[in-house]
Every structure is written in structure tokens, then in C-alpha cells.
Amino acid sequence: MARSIENYWSLLVKVLASAIFFGIIGFVLYIGYCDMNAKVRSRQEDTLFQIAKCKADYAKNKCGPDVRIKELDTFCAETERCMNRDPYKVLIGPGYSAV
């Protein structure tokens, strides 16, 4: 009988140790996920801000196709490309490892 109780206690200790171990692993993974998610949101906000700035520059420099000045063709093309970016694709491209 004493041997049986000892086996149950041993099993209980092993189960609790395993639960604590996997709980710590899960917590570390959750912290990593939250950190990466915060960085992605920050990059999305930065991209949205840059897109808004490009739209303002586009309007200010009269880059519309009907009123575009020949000397500003390169600038207007770059500004238009900036405006058409997708802020939700920030993970694509260089710097993903920094996220």
C-alpha cells in the first residue's frame, strides 16, 4: 500500500513539473509573439504615415497626370509608387529578420 501511494506522489510530481515546464515554454512563445506583433503594428503605422506624406506631396506638387510638370516626372512617379504601397505587407522585403 505504501509503495502504491509513493508511485502516485511520484506521478503527481512529474505531471506538475511537466505542466510547469510547458507553461514556461508557452509563456516564452507568447511573449515572442506579442513582441513581434507590436513591431509589425509599428511598421504598419510608419508605412501609413509615409503614404499620407506621399499623398500630400503628390497633391502639393501637382503630380496629377493632367497637370504634371515634365521636370517633376521622376519625383511624381516615385511619389505615386509610394502612395500605392500596401501598409499590410510590411513583412515582405528586407528587414523581416529585424521584426
pTM exceeds 0.85, yes or no: no
pLDDT at 86: 85
Cβ atoms of 79 and 54 closer than 8 Å: yes
pLDDT at 27: 98
| pLDDT surpasses 60 at 94 | no
What distance in Å separates the CA atoms of residue 79 and residue 90, rounded to the nearest whole number?
A: 18
Write down the domain spans for the chain: 2-98
Task: Place 10 in a pLDDT band, splitting at 50, 70 and 90.
Answer: very high
| pLDDT surpasses 80 at 90 | no
Q: Give Cα 26 distance to the centre of its chain.
A: 20
